[in-house]
C-alpha cells in the first residue's frame, strides 16, 4: 500500500519523474521516511505539550524563553542532546548497551506501519494488522531488558525487570480487550476494523456495554504498556533513580525518549482505531482523505493529553499492587467482557 501513500503525498510522481523504475526498493524506503518524520515532529510537540500541560496543572507557566511561548524549547533540548558526550560505562556490555535503544525505537517505529491514517491511507494494509501491532510493540520489552542488563547498574536492572514484568503482564488484558472488539469485527485488518464501525456513534464505544468496559481496560493497560503514571515504575525517578535509562546520555537517551513519546501516540491511535472508529467522524460517516487524517489525529491527541493529565495528577503504584490490578482485576474482567461480547454477537 506504500504506493498509495506516495501517490497521495505526490512523491510517487516525483520519484517516477526522477527515473526510479517501478517496483524498486526506493519506493517503500521513501514511504517509510514519512512515519519517521511524523514521529519526530510528534515527539517535539508532545514534549512541549507535556511541559505546558504539567505547568498549567502545577500553576506554572512552563517554558517561556525559547521562542514565542517557549515553542522552540524542545528543539533546544534536542540540540543539547546531540552535542552531549556519548558515554558508555566501562563495566557495561557494550553491544547490548548500544543495541537496546535502537531496538526500543524500532518497536515504536515499526508499529506506525499498520496504523490507518485515513480511508485506505495506510503504510502496510496487513491482514493481521492488529496482531502485528500487539506483537511488534512487545519488541520494546527486549530492548528495555537489554538496556537494564547491559548498563551493569543495579538500579537499571531493577527498572528493566520491573518493566518486563509489567509490560508482559499488561499485554494480556490489552490483548483481551482488543480481542473483544475483534469478536465483533471478525477481521484483524486495521482498515477492516474501522470500516466495520461505520454508522456507529463514536465507533464501538457505545455499541455494547462489554465493548465499553473493554475500552476502559485497554486504556488502563495501555498506560502500563508505555510506562506512564500511575504505572511508571520502571523509571520511577524517586525509587530507581532513572530506571533502565539511568546510564544513558546523549542521543541514546534521546532514542528512549523519542520512543516513549512515540508509544504514547501509538497506543492512543490503537485505542482510537479499535474502539472509537479511527478516522471515521464521531457520528460514524466516512470523511474525505484530509478529514480522516484530522479525525484520527484529534481523537488520538485527546488520549495523549489524557495520559499527560493522569501523569501530573496521580501518584505511582507499588509493584505488587500493579500486579494485583493486572492479574486479579483487569484480566478476569477482560475475560468476562470477551465472553459477554461473544454471546452478544451470537444472540443479538
Determine, following the binding rule CB under 8 A, whether residue 314 of this chain makes contact with another protein.
Answer: yes
- Distance in Å, CB of 312 to another protein, minimum: 5
Nearest distance from C-beta of residue 21 to another protein, angstroms = 55
Q: What is the CA radius of gyration of the chain?
A: 21
Under the binding rule (CB under 8 A), the answer on residue 328 touching another protein is no
Between 43 and 82, how does the x/- string for binding to another protein read (CB under 8 A)?
-----------x--xxxx----------------------
The closest of 159, 309, 168 to 246, measured between CA atoms, is 159
Binding mask 132-171 vs another protein (x if CB under 8 A, - otherwise)? ----------------------x---x-------------
Q: 17-46 mask for another protein (x: CB under 8 A)?
A: ------------------------------
Assess 285 for contact with another protein (CB under 8 A): no
Q: Does 251 bind another protein (CB under 8 A)?
A: no
* Sequence-ordered list of residues with C-beta below 8 angstroms from that of 271, at least 6 positions apart, any chain: 215, 218, 219, 222, 303
The 3-state DSSP class for residue 172 equals helix
Applying CB under 8 A, among 91, 315, 347, 348 the residue interacting with another protein is 315
Closest to another protein by CB, 231 vs 275, is 231
Contacts for 268 with CB less than 8 Å, ≥ 6 apart: 222, 299, 300, 301, 302, 303, 304, 307
Peptide bond into 334 cis (omega under 30): no
Q: Does 310 bind another protein (CB under 8 A)?
A: no
Strands (E), 81-225: 116-118, 121-122
* Integer CA distances (angstroms), 338 to 13, 132, 181, 182, 204, in order: 46, 20, 8, 10, 14
C-alpha cell of 45? 510537540
| Position 91 contacts another protein (CB under 8 A) | no
In the complex, minimum distance from the CB of residue 39 to another protein, in angstroms, rounded to a whole number: 26
- Check binding of 93 to another protein (CB under 8 A): no
Does residue 237 interact with another protein by CB under 8 A?
Answer: yes
Question: Is residue 110 within 8 Å of 139, Cβ to Cβ?
Answer: yes
Residues that bind another protein (CB under 8 A): 54, 57-60, 154, 158, 229-230, 232-233, 236-241, 312-321
Amino acid at each position: 500500500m506504500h504506493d498509495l501513500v506516495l501517490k497521495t503525498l505526490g512523491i510517487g510522481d516525483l520519484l517516477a519523474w526522477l527515473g526510479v523504475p517501478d517496483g524498486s526498493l526506493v519506493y517503500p524506503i521513501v514511504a517509510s521516511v514519512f512515519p519517521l518524520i511524523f514521529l519526530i515532529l510528534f515527539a517535539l510537540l508532545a514534549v512541549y505539550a507535556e511541559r505546558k500541560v504539567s505547568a498549567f496543572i502545577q500553576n506554572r507557566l512552563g517554558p517561556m524563553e525559547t521562542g514565542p511561548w517557549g515553542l522552540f524549547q524542545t528543539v533546544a533540548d534536542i540540540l543539547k542532546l546531540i552535542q552531549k558526550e556519548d558515554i558508555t560505562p566501562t563495566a557495561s556490555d557494550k553491544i547490548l548497551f548500544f543495541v537496546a535503544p535502537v531496538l526500543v525505537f524500532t518497536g515504536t517505529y515499526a508499529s506506525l506501519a499498520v496504523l490507518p491514517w485515513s480511508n485506505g491511507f495506510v503504510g502496510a494494509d496487513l491482514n493481521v494488522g492488529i496482531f502485528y501491532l500487539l506483537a511488534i510493540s512487545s519488541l520494546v520489552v527486549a530492548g528495555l531488558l537489554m538496556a537494564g542488563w547491559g548498563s551493569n547498574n543495579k538500579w537499571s536492572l531493577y527498572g528493566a525487570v520491573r518493566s518486563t514484568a509489567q509490560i508482559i503482564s499488561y499485554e494480556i488484558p490489552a490483548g483481551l480487550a482488543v480481542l473483544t472488539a475483534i469478536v465483533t469485527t471478525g477481521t484483524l485488518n486495521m482498515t477492516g476494523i474501522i470500516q466495520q464501525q461505520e454508522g456507529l456513534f463514536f465507533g464501538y464505544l457505545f455499541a455494547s456495554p462489554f465493548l465499553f468496559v473493554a475500552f476502559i481496560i485497554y486504556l488502563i493497560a495501555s498506560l502500563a504498556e508505555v510506562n506512564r503514571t500511575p504505572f511508571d515504575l520502571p523509571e520511577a525517578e524517586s525509587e530507581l533513580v532513572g530506571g533502565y535509562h539511568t546510564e544513558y546520555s546523549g542521543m541514546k537517551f534521546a532514542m528512549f525518549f523519542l520512543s516513549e513519546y512515540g508509544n504514547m501516540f501509538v497506543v492512543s491511535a490503537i485505542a482510537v482505531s479499535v474502539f472509537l472508529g479511527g478516522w471515521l467522524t464521531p457520528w460514524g460517516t466516512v470523511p474525505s482523505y484530509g478529514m480522516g487524517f484530522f479525525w484520527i489525529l484529534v481523537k488520538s491527541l485527546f488520549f495523549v493529553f489524557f495520559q499527560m493529565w493522569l501523569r501530573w495528577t496521580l501518584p505511582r503504584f507499588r509493584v505488587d499492587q500493579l500486579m494485583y490490578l493486572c492479574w486479579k482485576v483487569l484480566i478476569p474482567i477482560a475475560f468476562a467482557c470477551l465472553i459477554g461480547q461473544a454471546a452478544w454477537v451470537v444472540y443479538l
